[in-house]
Amino acid sequence: MIYHLFIKFLGCAFVVYLILFCVPIHAQNCEPLEKELKSHVKFLSSDALRGRMTGGIEEALVNTYLETAFSDNKEQTICEISYRTSYQGKLLKSRMSTCFQNKKQVNTVLVGAHVDHIGMGGELSKSIGKSEVHNGADDNASGVAMVIELQKYFSKINLPFNVLFVAYTGHEIGTKGSEYLAKHWKKKWGNCIAVINFDMIGRLEDSTSSLFVSSNNADFFQVASNNMNLVFDEGERLNSLDTRHFVHLPCITFSTGIHNDYHKVSDDEEAILYSGMCQQFKLYQTMIANLAMKELKK
């Protein structure tokens, strides 16, 4: 028993050491991370993807990009989940990309962000009368870029839980992708113990700007401020986001807030603040390290 506890303690200390100290480039030198984040956002919010509408022909291009971004580790399982839904009386077939990091554990943490946007606008647009590409750089190419980079980082870390990374589709038409995922959770993914979500995280200007955090169990996630201005609520936003289908579990979502470009043709890549995203990356590293500590202490 003493030996077993000692091994668990060493494992906990090692995980935290790796996350907080061994790979400090994102905390001390953000340039490589900022470059990667910008590359993801620039592609996902390009005119060529025509606003990433759920079920649109451009969705295949999005998934091809995500599968390539997720394929940096042969230990991961990458797949598309296909489902059918409807919007405005039209039947849609959508496919969303997932990356399962199998750490050979019983429990799993779900990390996601919606990748779809509102296409050419229509009734969801706040750019009245404009039938133009709505690129959705902040909403939510920024969140998906964060998912990609967290996936890359944690593919190299032996966490005490598995991680399922998901780029949800169907969000803008009623969180259809996350609903399908919740109803069709695969046994091979293990027991989901927590849900982390990113939705519009690209407008953090500096340490005085607010990062909005909504959680139904903030104590569970133990979010450290990292000298950032965190504004918490008790989970009010969870029921309007993809987390709504997982609120029976500890859930947390992050956002830099609504702005004047929300659902407008002006939500473009040039307005994304990558230094602020880099700051957030460190916060998310630390949060997942805290979850690892919690899991190893069980």
Q: Does pLDDT of 241 surpass 90?
A: yes
Q: In whole angstroms, what is the distance from residue 148 CA to residue 112 CA?
A: 10
Q: Give the CATH number for residue 74.
A: 3.40.630.10
Structure confidence at residue 206 (pLDDT): 85
Whether residue 290 has a cis bond before it, omega within 30° of 0: no
Give the residue carrying structure tokens 């598309």: 80
Q: State mean pLDDT over 159-188.
A: 97
Given phi > 0 = left and psi -120 to 50 = alpha, else beta, which region is 55? left
The tens digit of pLDDT for each residue in 76-94 reads 899 999 999 999 999 999 9
Q: At CA 176, angle to CA 188 and CA 152, rounded to 5?
A: 50
Are residues 187 and 245 in contact, defined by beta-carbon separation less than 8 angstroms? no
* Tally of domains within the chain: 1
Burial environment of residue 260 by CB neighbours within 10 A (0 to 12, 13 to 18, 19 or more): exposed
Per DSSP, the three-state class of 72 is coil
DSSP state for residue 53 in the 8-state scheme: B
Structure confidence at residue 28 (pLDDT): 55
The average confidence (pLDDT) of the chain is: 91
Residue 15: partners with Cβ closer than 8 Å, 6 or more residues away = 157, 158, 159, 160, 289, 292, 293, 296
Q: By residue range, what is the domain housing residue 248?
A: 2-296
